[in-house]
Chain A
């Protein structure tokens, strides 16, 4: 599987270890697809005129689309997309998506914060878009084989 590894095993995981950084692209098309798939059509995710009129720098990505990239990072690393026990984030800055043919990127990095009982592992995550930290207090608990 692509991304941060795949098929992690509890016995092989070391607390304190840092996982590779993975970069995910986000374009205006991503936002439109996510509007349709999620049912969240808030205008700030697709209408630049309205986004600017409410004080935003441009159209911004859905927080949940950013969280989905962090989720993909975790499930690609774990190797089992159903391994999550808990998953939480704070959206500290918006992912601003310009209409420039390139869009934005979200860079995700993880650290093994702790090993718990019952084969559970705590991952601390960071996500950046350009210079901005877009997720803070991002944390996932996964159950590994």
Chain B
């Protein structure tokens, strides 16, 4: 099913505040199999100049999930999630997320493109602290494959 192209350019509300925790960072680092001490050891992170343990570079997807979820679950968009694969992902960082950050994520659909039997949905998600400091922008392209 084709996506509703009227959704291109649509902005979604900012998420409720998300508190980045040491436990979640460690769980995520374990799940990706990365033993880096900066993700687990506060003293090591502070020795490297950070206020607390930092999050791996792809951790912002955890924070962005609630925001991008609003996009993919919007019934008016018409996305069939079982037919979705991740096409492209990009991050632009002002700094790494660290434990203790209180942030919010806000998504905008930047493009909906049809190429043959597939449809590409590009979403830009800004992650900022509650004070408005930019931490990271994630640009994600999801691909909805045609019917199998």
Instruction: List residues of chain A with CB under 8 Å of any chain B CB.
Output: 1-2, 24-25, 30, 33-34, 36-40, 42-44, 50, 53-55, 60, 62-65, 67-69, 71-72, 74-76, 80-82, 84-91, 94, 137
Contact = CB atoms under 8 A, between A and B. Distances in A.
A36 B26 CA distance: 13
Contacts of A62: 86
Given A38-B61, A50-B82, A54-B82, A85 B93 contact: yes
Interface string B65-88: 100000000000000011111111
Given A67-B58, A81-B96, A82-B38, A36 B89 contact: no
A68 B56 contact: yes
Contacts of A60: 85
Interface in B32-84: 32-36, 38-39, 48, 50, 54, 56-58, 61-62, 65, 81-84
Given A37-B28, A69-B32, A90 B88 contact: yes
Contacts of A1: 36
A131 B80 CA distance: 30
A39 to B, nearest CB: 5
Contacts, number: 122
A38 B58 CA distance: 10
B40 to A, nearest CB: 11
Contacts of A91: 85-89
Interface of B: 24, 27-28, 30-36, 38-39, 48, 50, 54, 56-58, 61-62, 65, 81-93, 95-96, 139, 145, 148
Interface of B is mostly: mixed
B36 A71 contact: no
Contacts of B86: 62-64, 91
B30 A37 contact: yes
Contact of B32 (A55, A72, A89): A72
A55 to B, nearest CB: 3
A55 B84 CA distance: 12
Given A37-B27, A37-B31, A42 B61 contact: no
A2 B89 CA distance: 25
A33 B48 CA distance: 28
A44 B82 contact: yes
